[in-house]
Amino acid sequence: MSFIVDAVYFIAAILFILGLKQMSSPVTARRGIIWAGVGMVLATLITYFHSEINHNYLWMTLAIGLGGAIAWATGKKVAMTDMPQMIALYNGMGGGSAAAIAAVVLMQQKEMSVTLQILAVFGALIGTIAFSGSMIAFAKLQGLMRKTYRFSGQQRVNLGVFLVIFIISLYLAFSGTSYGMTILGIFFVLALIFGIMMTVPIGGADMPVVISLYNAFTGLAVGLEGYVLGNPAMMIAGIVVGSAGTLLTQLMAKAMNRPITNVLFSNFGDAPSGDAEEVAGSMKEIDANDVAVMMAFAEKVVIIPGYGMAVAQAQHKVWEMSKLLQDRGVAVKFAIHPVAGRMPGHMNVLLAEAGVPYDIIYDLDEINEEFNTADVALVIGANDVVNPAARTDTNSPIYGMPILNADYAKHAVVIKRGKGTGFSGIENQLFFADNTRMLYGDGAAAVSELIVGIKEL
């Protein structure tokens, strides 16, 4: 039976890999999710026949049933705007599960090789950090924690806490079975605290990097504990998720012009020393009918979606408007910044949900050169990713971050609910530019007005 169990675990792992590969493209993402889901079902069911289950079938079934019911109910109810915090929450659950597995292994105090002992402790550490850090990320995204908590010498305190954890980790890893439950409890409590302290200074605008970073932590923790347990499905799934999360973190850091060392060891979103440039000019409002005329008689329109579009659930209206423009011979393209929204790929998911074809959706590097030839750049709820201060203001917190060149278009139109700053709290120079006009209102309502205006022409 053990051979069959291992074989099914291996098949499940292959399905995980193939599923993740399919998820790399919007065209095959749905198929990839199904394949990975089938792999997870196989891995779960075959575990009932594992030799070390010790007839704990009732507890297994209760856990699976309860967890599955909660996930099903919340997954059906969650709005697309709340998807980032749901992912942060579930990612934290994955890290917490890996830490819980490590806790059980370490509490049993069985004789293990030094290598397994080290891996168990390391998996426990990063899994616990991923759990508590992800909970803070969830709280920030959900609006339960609106402040960014920082104090003088915070990084030194964090370093001190980590050094204590590191010393305890060495003791647990090399002491065999001589450690007590008290020191093990202190280890987990400090790891939880460190995950919180590591995340509370982080500003909301940097949450995409945080989510992908903790995703990498969770995958690595699961892979390590899978190795400790000798479970190939956990090993392969954890390694694949960990490596994918690491690559995604690097891409997000590059998109925000942050080195990985800055992401790991510095307060995210810290402003450089000095005063930011004062914004000259004023915001100039425009009527929806005038925008409709401007776009209807344009040759090329580039649409830049942001979190405001997600909040307004305007993606279906945006696509309806785009089709009207295409029917009039206007070339319509969508420009997606890597960190637009609250998680990687947020805007791509929303546009795919609305049925926008993949071949008119472009990443930053693919579309930026085209703004020079665009008649209209329509910004819907985006802020920092189109802020020219990233190019010109060396004292801006986002200086050096690659942005979408909306200000290079002949006309820029910004749909925005009000005159306030974006999620990062930085004033946007684009809104005050001579070629920019502001269309105030809810995203869906404003686009509906544009649709009416285009139809009347």
**DSSP for residue 285:** B
pLDDT for the residue numbered 142: 81
384 is catalytic: yes
The single residue of 6, 327, 363, 384 carrying the catalytic annotation is: 384
Is the pLDDT score of 424 beyond 70?
A: no
At residue 38 the predicted structure's pLDDT band, cuts being 50, 70 and 90, is very high
Q: Stretch 387-415: mean pLDDT, rounded?
A: 88
Alpha helical stretches, state H, 346-408:
346-354, 364-367, 389-392
CB crowding 319-352: b at 16 or more within 10 Å, else e: bbbbebbeeeebbbbbbbbbbbbbbbbbbbbbbb
Q: What value does the mean pLDDT take over residues 376-389?
A: 90
What are the backbone angles phi and psi of residue 330, rounded to the nearest 5°?
Answer: -85, 135
- At a CB cut-off of 8 Å and minimum separation 6, what does 72 contact? none
Judge if pTM exceeds 0.85. no
Cα distance between residue 312 and residue 298, in whole Å:
26
Higher pLDDT, 265 or 78: 78
> For the segment 293-325, what is each residue's pLDDT rounded down to a tens digit?
999 999 999 999 988 888 888 999 999 999 999
Residue 394 pLDDT more than 70? yes
pLDDT digits (tens, 9 = 90+) for 58-72: 888 998 999 889 888
Average pLDDT of the chain? 86
Check whether 223 has a pLDDT greater than 90: yes
pLDDT band at 274 (very low <50, low <70, confident <90, very high): very low
SS3 per residue for 300-333: EEEEEECHHHHHHCCHHHHHHHHHHHHHCCCEEE
In sequence order, which residues have a C-beta less than 8 Å from that of residue 326 and are 6 or more positions away? Answer: 332
Which stretch of 144-153, 240-249, 434-443 has the lowest confidence by average pLDDT? Answer: 144-153
- Pick from 137-141, 383-387, 419-423, 435-439 the range whose average pLDDT is largest: 435-439
pLDDT at 279: 67
Question: Between these two residues, 255 and 357, which has the higher pLDDT value?
Answer: 357
In this prediction, residue 271 has a pLDDT band, given cuts at 50, 70 and 90, of very low
Contacts of 439 (CB under 8 A, 6+ apart): 285, 286, 287, 288, 291, 413, 414, 415, 416, 446
pLDDT value, residue 195:
93
Q: What percent of the chain has pLDDT over 70?
A: 91
Each domain of the chain, given as residue ranges in start order, spans: 78-265, 288-456
Instruction: List pLDDT tens digits, range 139-198.
Output: 888 878 866 677 777 778 888 999 999 999 999 988 877 888 899 999 999 999 999 998
The fraction of the chain above a pLDDT of 90, given in percent, is: 41
At the second CATH level, the architecture of 288-456 is 3-Layer(aba) Sandwich (3.40)
Residue 264 pLDDT level (bands cut at 50, 70, 90):
low
In the prediction, which pLDDT does 273 show?
A: 43
pLDDT at 277 over 90: no
In the predicted model, is pLDDT for residue 283 greater than 90? Answer: no
